[in-house]
Amino acid sequence: MNPNLPHRRLALVAITTHGTEIVRRLAASYQGDPDAPAVDVFYMKKHARGDEAERGFRLFEGSVRRILPELFARYDGLVLVISLGAVVRMIAPLLVDKKTDPAVVVIDDRAEHVISVLSGHVGGANLLTRDIARRLGARPVITTASDVQGTIAVDLFGRRFGWRLVNWDKVTPVSAAVVNGERVAVVQESGEPDWWEHPHPLPPNITVYRSVREALAAKANAYLVVTHRLLDPDEEAILENGVLYRPRSIVLGLGCNRGTSAEEIEQVIRDTLDALRFAVESVRNVATIDRKKDEPGLVAVCAKYGWPLVAYTPEELNAVPIAHPSETVYRYTGAWGVSEPAAMRSANATSLVLEKKKHGNCTISVALVDYGPPRWDGTADTGAAETARIAQAAAGKEEGP
């Protein structure tokens, strides 16, 4: 199973003899796969083989329509060996929206075709369809225009890195511009640079710009804006037909006195980000010294926002050159600094956006993630690979305010 699939639980459902064989075979293919989701199998009692209790398979009687609403609500994905028309009729009353509906995939009764039916992008049905087709030796059937054309899927852009899409109301018109070949500008001020996943070059209707103002001057028909910044008033016009993404590209280096409250730490972070005009949604993680990894206030703030807390030993911090080493800090911690080297090391950066600033009981520094080769002693915790790891580790956590 592709580890990028957003499926934690799948329901495999069949109502015919051949369908029962297909879901049993598919369930067996998931066994021993460390990346596979939890899989539950459902088929009709009259097709029982006698080993269902041992294998944890669920049997039902009567129409599958009776159990489908519960499965639709409970599972991240439904894989149904049922005719496409019947599935469409049964799920129609259950639909809510593309951000919450589960992936729905249909397999024909001979396992010749695997069809992505619902939530192809956000729900991951297209990826799931390809994965199941590979397992069954079937043909995947995917009809979403961006997949067929091999271009940007606006609602999935940067998702594998943990980028957060802010204004969903613009997804449909921007997607239309992308697939219709209109002039589209991708504005990337931060975030992972290797977002293009196709083997062929970027389509000619899509151009990448380094700043919002540069893209506005180009007068494109639609925009995909990737930035950690809050837009200035004269830049906000770009969102009239633009989608805004928040990459996880800000690292906060923090030091604090023992017993500092979560409320004070949170206020320092909020005030700092506001002063920089940085978006809180783009904070990737907090970094500190190992002796603070269990500081209650710091742990509480990170838990509230879903931020990983990365802690370094004094030796790891001292490997990072800083402009103003402190003998006082060294005397108490063994490190020449905390917030600055922690932020730089975690971000794999050689410079800071904000050098250490004292606020009450806290000291804070800010760095932007550098996606180049690992620095310092070759064991730096970040760069593109570590950013993807942190995003994956944080996946499934409740988003903070």
Q: DSSP string of 234-274? A: GGGGGGGGEEEEE-S-EEEEEEE-TT--HHHHHHHHHHHHH
10-residue mean pLDDT series, the chain (401 residues)? 59 96 95 85 96 95 94 95 95 89 95 90 84 94 81 90 94 94 96 92 95 96 98 96 97 96 98 98 97 95 96 94 89 92 96 95 96 69 49 44 33
Q: What is the pLDDT of residue 301?
A: 98
Instruction: Give the whole-angstrom CA distance, residue 333 versus residue 353.
Output: 24
Q: What is the pLDDT of residue 377?
A: 57
Q: What is the pLDDT of residue 125?
A: 84
Pairing of strands 139-141, 113-118: parallel
Instruction: Give the whole-angstrom CA distance, residue 167 versus residue 173.
Output: 12
Q: Give the single-character DSSP code of 197.
A: -
CA distances (Å), origin 216, targets 14, 118, 169, 185: 52, 35, 20, 9
Q: What is the pLDDT of residue 6?
A: 53
Encoding tokens for residue 355? 């050098």
Strand ranges of the sheet holding 250-256, from the earlier edge strand across to the other edge: 309-312, 283-289, 250-256, 362-368, 354-359
Q: What is the pLDDT of residue 339?
A: 96
Burial of 54 (0-12, 13-18, 19+ CB in 10 A): exposed
Pairing of strands 354-359, 362-368: antiparallel
Q: What is the pLDDT of residue 176?
A: 94
Encoding tokens for residue 246? 């928040």
Q: What is the pLDDT of residue 382?
A: 44
pTM value is 0.76
CB 262 within 8 A of CB 214: no
Widest CA span of the chain, in angstroms? Answer: 78
Q: What is the pLDDT of residue 379?
A: 46
Structural domains in the chain, sorted by start:
9-143 (3.40.50.11220), 154-246 (3.40.1390.40), 250-394 (3.30.420.180)
Strand ranges of the sheet holding 242-246, from the earlier edge strand across to the other edge: 164-165, 242-246, 222-226, 184-188, 206-209
Q: What is the dihedral of CA 215, 217, 219, 222, to 10 degrees?
A: 20
Instruction: Give the whole-angstrom CA distance, residue 397 versus residue 378.
Output: 30
